Amino acid sequence: MISKYALHFPRRGGFLLVAFIFSFFTYSVSLFSCEKNNTSFLSGVVYISKYISSEDFIRLKKHKNDLELVDTLYAKAVKYYEGDKSEAMLCLTFSLLPFNTITIELPVLNLHVTFPLPSANEKIFVKKLKEQPKEIFCDSQKNDFGDKDKLSHFFANAFLAYNVSFFNLSKFMGIFVEIFEATLKVQGSLDHRDIIANNLGELFGVSIKHNQHLMPSKALAIYSLLYLRVNP
């Protein structure tokens, strides 16, 4: 049975190759992730997902805003990986995804194929999705979903910017994904707010090289300045 928490792609020639490239990239990244002291990539995703689902986190939500909660999750992931910020950002990228599978429709055969993503089990995933931070930006919609998807954009680009310096891979990947989704009508249109989240993540990934104590909220808060400039 296909999970309702899935990102669905329409049938379109040539997409299968991209899907396999994405799956290979995901698999390669998980191999790249450290295995020291039994703190694997997947164990971190499960650990953060369980924490977001916990009563401790739910109580914390009563006293902290969502940007402060993002900082809490980042600090929790960094501590789990014994100070390895690269591992923490990669872990948060997948821990904060609002879906746990990618489904495509194969051309000609008219078959649906589901690719699972690194995730906690379904029960934990559902509760995690309900509790994870959603009011990330000053114009986040006041509904059950808000901007839950923006955090994965942010941490994915932070991870790439932090680790890759020989060319601007994070900006390239962020723009590529947005154009790719718009072309295949995955989300219907090019989302400029996703691109802003990508850029803020890139800024965080670069800046933390120079200030190891920097927290994600400092970069995410820049969105408010951009919003006020466009909407005085």
* Structural domain harbouring 202: 6-230
Taking the alpha carbons of 16, 153, 47, 34 in that order, is the dihedral positive or negative? Answer: positive
For residues 138 and 41, the answer to whether their CB atoms sit within 8 Å is no
192 has a pLDDT exceeding 80: no
**122 located within any domain:** yes
30/150: higher pLDDT:
150
For residues 80 and 44, the answer to whether their CB atoms sit within 8 Å is yes
**52 located within any domain:** yes
**1 located within any domain:** no
206 has a pLDDT exceeding 80: yes
Q: Token digits for 69?
A: 């909660």
**214 located within any domain:** yes
Full-model pTM: 0.76
63 has a pLDDT exceeding 60: yes
Confidence (pLDDT) at 51:
97
What is the count of structural domains for the chain? 1
